[in-house]
Structure 1
Amino acid sequence: MTEENKDSAANSSRRNFIKTTALAAAGFMIVPRHVLGGKGFLAPSDRLMVAGVGVGGKGESDLERIYSGGKSEIAFLCDVDDRRAAGSVKRFPKAKYYKDYRQMLDKEAKNIDGVVISTPDHTHAMIAMAAMQLGKHVYVQKPLTHDIFEARKLTEAANRYKVVTQMGNQGASGDGVRKLQDWLDAGRIGKVETVYCWTDRPVWPQGISWPTTGAAVPAELDWDLWLGCAPFKPYIDKMVPFNWRGWWDYGTGALGDMGCHLVEPPFRILGLDTPIDVQCSVGSVYVDEFKRGYFPESCPPSSHVIMTFEKTKKTKGNLEIHWMDGGIKPERPEELEANEAFGSNGVLFIGTKGKMMCDTYGANPRLLPLSRNAEDQTKVKTPLVEGGVDGHYRQWAEAAIAGYGKINLSSPFETAGPLTETLLIANLAIRGTDVRRTKADGNGFDYPGRDIKLLWDKQNLRVTNFDEVNQFVKREYRQGWSLGV
């Protein structure tokens, strides 16, 4: 929803949000931090002392947005790559700089209130867990973790250590997903039958073999620290800063990158839990005109995953969410005119009485046909986040200052954890397509995971009908690294 299209009801909701937050803050006695003490609690009069881990690229913009809220001090910076860190070092010259987050937490724990983690996927969990165990509030980039076990443990830890948590799927604070919620609650599309989510990602190499020739490690990069808990492999050119996303040891593919932005709207507004089953098909790469490539270390170039969820009050029955990446898209809705854009990234809700769509982050929500939007008078009932998407960062900082349980957040680990589990369960289906066995006669291989539906046991974190894929539920960390649980 654009600023010019917000009605007076939306503005009123924003004012109510501000008023409620201010009244809540006013209820605390303002005393110095050293008097209060205790884990996960700060005096409202204090600025949040923030440490950033992974401070280049997205990490730099995360810190800038948190700092711009006016209540945080960027006190410490940590990055394994001096080149990537240069922008943040220049922007926050008073911040003390480290390369190893473990040294930073060991030496500076008493001076840190919150930790912002914007590293590659494979190191999210162990950094966040180490910070939470010290009673530090954490803001972690999406996806929350690299594997399902980590997501479950971080969700449990946030409650155990009573710290304020937020995942970096900023669209969860946007106005768009709240408009979708209002439409759904008002019955504009009836009960939801099916949801389609699609993306043009990956925009990095996938479906390839690991390079046979290495490259010199840049002098500014500590490659061993970058690998962290992942298996040791020689450095390869252009892995940093972006192409790691397409390798299973470090990234989570297109689903991990974009799923937290695209699957989040239906997951939230339909009240979903983790899926009960998943199935998929993936795109192939051929090494020559007769032979299909086998690249188990790399995510596939495209995939179509179907996740089944149990019925909720907002769905007609059990719900299917279709995830499509690599340029695959669902059938164009018949309600769209020939020249009306469908979008390269989006979400389509199909209900018993109509359809609605949105873009990445839940942005640009619209009813179908588009002519319905001009006459829409649905009342704004879902509370808005002050600042919308940008308010996602300030929301975390203000909640950390107020203390655990005092301010509601858009994507605390309580909700971000199950969403991340959902996406990583879907990745099990994708990875399962590369599980291969030697044929009984010894001639060649077969791939038993390519044509089955995986049945998920939420309580025990395992697939019940194809055990070989359970190896991806929980990774084995490299010697010397631990999740700390």
Structure 2
Amino acid sequence: MPHRLHRRQFLRSSAAFGAGFLILGRDPNRAFGQSPNDRVAIACIGVGGKGSSDTDHAAACGQVVALCDIDDRRLKQKAEQYPDAKTFHDYRELLDALGDTLDAVVVSTPDHTHAAASIDAMKRGKHVYCQKPLAHSPFEARAMLEAARAHGVQTQMGNQGTASDGFRTGVELIRSGALGPVREVHVWTNRPFKYWKQAPDLVARPEETPPVPEHVHWDLFVGPAPMRPYHPVYHPHDWRGWWDFGTGSLGDMACHTANLPFMGLMLGYPTRVSAVSGAINPETYPAWATITYEFPARGELPPVKLTWYEGAKDGERNLPDPALFRGRTAVDSGSLLVGEALTLYSPSDYGMEQELWPTRADDANDTAIALEIPRTLERLGGEDDRDLNNKREWVRAIVDGGPSPLSNFDYAAVLTESMLLGNVAVRLGEAIDYDAEAMTVPGRPEADRLIRPTYREGWSL
């Protein structure tokens, strides 16, 4: 499709590319988003926080038959909304009880229980929608990919920007070759500011040990992690900044913000990951980190160096070199792909918007750039419905038997494993050379222990 872009023009796919979309083997008589409610029985594991909206979306796409949460208050609130759904505190009991009456599960728990719940469900033949990041460790991400393949289930990760028309336009734009060879990528985030606490505000466990509230099933919250005393600093919100429960800013946002370059450039596993960061403590993520991933050539595509920036250093945001933005002010979260011909700037967590400008600093004219961009990805429509559409795409695949959703575990697990290797490099404070086939760092057993964590008894994968 011929299209002309000015280098300061933001692309929004619905306007830029028209209303048509590619139909990929589905019933054309059923519009996208029409709910086959009588066909898909869904259990929701984790129904507070993000799990609350995930449950509502599941209800819009199928029938919510079960609710599970370790917090009675959150569980009761959702049960009042869906009175016909059975309630559980332990997802293992839910899966045992419902057996063949259950088709699929939505997993929206803290990061450290994503893999345990998802793999248990997939082993029982259940389709799985799991929130990002797919897992708590690189090994878990690989195990989820292998389980999905072994059991032939439909899967989707909750990086909802993938369902946006604008994101899919950006992927096509990158793959078209219009940027020229891309060897340099920068991705940054505004986390953890205003969202949760970690270092330097929290660097050790609280000394006080208040009693566990009656409405919290603490043993089930801790799950596969080492047991520790309850404290409200972990539940219901700030678990993300603790090594044992969350994956920090990288885990929270890279599956969103690095998604566009990762999919567009068809990156796989990195061969080398290095990091510099603020002071490391044994309990919480550091105040800031800069992580560099080195990806090998892919066919005719050149090697890529992707640099990730998070946190604040000496009171200043940790961001890419301002010179990269050619006089523009970097937004809170975004990505920048530097091609030989054009630079693509996405001022969006989800990669849904893109701006182009000539890479050469001396090419400052504003003449239009003529691009020929083939449409290869289906458009789901409704940018404001991207989170719901992410579930609709998954449920449609369950009902129709395919095609697989765009962020299925074959893709999402590779993205997650690759990004979470950054946390391994952060903890070690030096570069790691990654053997993806063996899932190991040769000669570095301390790295291997971080890649393949141990689990509390009763919670193994």
Cα offset for 1:94?
A: 1.5
Aligned mates of 2:110, 2:184 — CA distance in 1: 32
Aligned mates of 2:13, 2:190 — CA distance in 1: 28
Matching of residues 224-235 of structure 1 within 5 Å = 224-235=219-230
Name the SS of the counterpart of 2:144 in structure 1: helix
Aligned mates of 2:367, 2:100 — CA distance in 1: 53
Amino acid at match of 1:165: T
Residue in 1 aligned with 2:157? 167
Are 1:463 and 2:441 an aligned pair? yes
Residue in 1 aligned with 2:43? 51
Matching of residues 237-276 of structure 1 within 5 Å = 237-276=232-271
Name the SS of the counterpart of 2:350 in structure 1: helix
Cα offset for 1:200?
A: 1.3
Query: Is 1:194–1:349's contact at 8 Å kept on the other side of the alignment?
Result: yes
Matching of residues 228-377 of structure 1 within 5 Å = 228-284=223-279, 295-313=281-299, 315=301, 317-326=302-311, 327-333=317-323, 336-337=326-327, 340-358=328-346, 359-368=348-357
Aligned mates of 2:140, 2:13 — CA distance in 1: 41
Query: Is 1:357–1:366's contact at 8 Å kept on the other side of the alignment?
Result: yes
Give per-residue Cα distances to partners, 1:151-178, cap 9 Å, x unaligned.
1111111111111111111112222332
Query: Is 1:262–1:346's contact at 8 Å kept on the other side of the alignment?
Result: yes
Aligned mates of 2:53, 2:365 — CA distance in 1: 37
Cα offset for 1:251?
A: 0.8
Selected match of 1:63 from 55, 80, 85: 55
Residue in 2 aligned with 1:385? 379
Matching of residues 417-432 of structure 1 within 5 Å = 417-432=413-428
Name the SS of the counterpart of 2:448 in structure 1: helix
C-alpha spacing 1:481/1:187, structure 2 compared with 1 (3 Å) = closer
Aligned mates of 1:373, 1:165 — CA distance in 2: 44
Selected match of 1:473 from 433, 443, 451: 451
Amino acid at match of 1:257: D
Name the SS of the counterpart of 2:74 in structure 1: helix
Residue in 2 aligned with 1:415? 411
C-alpha spacing 1:378/1:93, structure 2 compared with 1 (3 Å) = farther
Query: Is 2:118–2:130's contact at 8 Å kept on the other side of the alignment?
Result: yes
Name the SS of the counterpart of 1:349 in structure 2: strand
Query: Is 1:254–1:325's contact at 8 Å kept on the other side of the alignment?
Result: yes
C-alpha spacing 1:61/1:190, structure 2 compared with 1 (3 Å) = same
Cα offset for 1:313?
A: 4.9
Amino acid at match of 1:280: A
Cα offset for 1:354?
A: 1.6
The alignment-based identity, stated in percent, is: 36
Give per-residue Cα distances to partners, 1:289-340, cap 9 Å, x unaligned.
xxxxx5222111110000000012574x321000100031101255644xx4
Q: Which fold has the larger relative contact order, with Cα–Cα distance below 8 Å and residues 6 or more apart in sequence? A: 2
Residue in 1 aligned with 2:3? none
Moved over 3 A (4+): 1-5, 7-10, 23-26, 333-337, 369-380
Query: Is 2:40–2:399's contact at 8 Å kept on the other side of the alignment?
Result: yes
Are 1:206 and 2:198 an aligned pair? yes
Name the SS of the counterpart of 2:129 in structure 1: strand
Amino acid at match of 1:62: D
Amino acid at match of 1:325: E
Query: Is 1:115–1:137's contact at 8 Å kept on the other side of the alignment?
Result: yes
Aligned mates of 2:228, 2:367 — CA distance in 1: 53
Query: Is 1:165–1:413's contact at 8 Å kept on the other side of the alignment?
Result: yes
Give per-residue Cα distances to partners, 1:400-456, cap 9 Å, x unaligned.
1223xx2231111111111111012111101113xxxxxxxxxxxxxxxxxx42111
Aligned mates of 2:367, 2:247 — CA distance in 1: 36
Give per-residue Cα distances to partners, 1:27-79, cap 9 Å, x unaligned.
xxxxxxxxxxxxxxxxx89421000000111111112123224xx00110000
Aligned mates of 1:335, 1:477 — CA distance in 2: 44
Residue in 1 aligned with 2:216? 221
Gap runs ≥5 in structure 1: 27-43, 285-293, 434-451
Aligned mates of 1:139, 1:217 — CA distance in 2: 30
Gap runs ≥5 in structure 2: 1-8, 312-316, 359-363
Query: Is 2:137–2:420's contact at 8 Å kept on the other side of the alignment?
Result: yes
C-alpha spacing 1:185/1:152, structure 2 compared with 1 (3 Å) = closer
Aligned mates of 1:169, 1:467 — CA distance in 2: 32
Query: Is 1:79–1:85's contact at 8 Å kept on the other side of the alignment?
Result: yes
Query: Is 2:47–2:68's contact at 8 Å kept on the other side of the alignment?
Result: yes
TM-score between both structures, scaled by the size of structure 2: 0.87
Query: Is 1:10–1:384's contact at 8 Å kept on the other side of the alignment?
Result: no
Amino acid at match of 2:160: Q
Aligned mates of 2:273, 2:30 — CA distance in 1: 44
Aligned mates of 2:356, 2:152 — CA distance in 1: 40
Give per-residue Cα distances to partners, 1:81-133, cap 9 Å, x unaligned.
01223442222121111111111111112221000000011111111111111
Aligned mates of 2:40, 2:459 — CA distance in 1: 29
C-alpha spacing 1:260/1:372, structure 2 compared with 1 (3 Å) = farther
Cα offset for 1:382?
A: 2.9
Count residues with an aligned counterpart.
429
Aligned mates of 1:152, 1:216 — CA distance in 2: 37
Cα offset for 1:396?
A: 0.5
TM-score between both structures, scaled by the size of structure 1: 0.83
Farther off after superposition, 375-384 or 299-308: 375-384
Residue in 2 aligned with 1:440? none
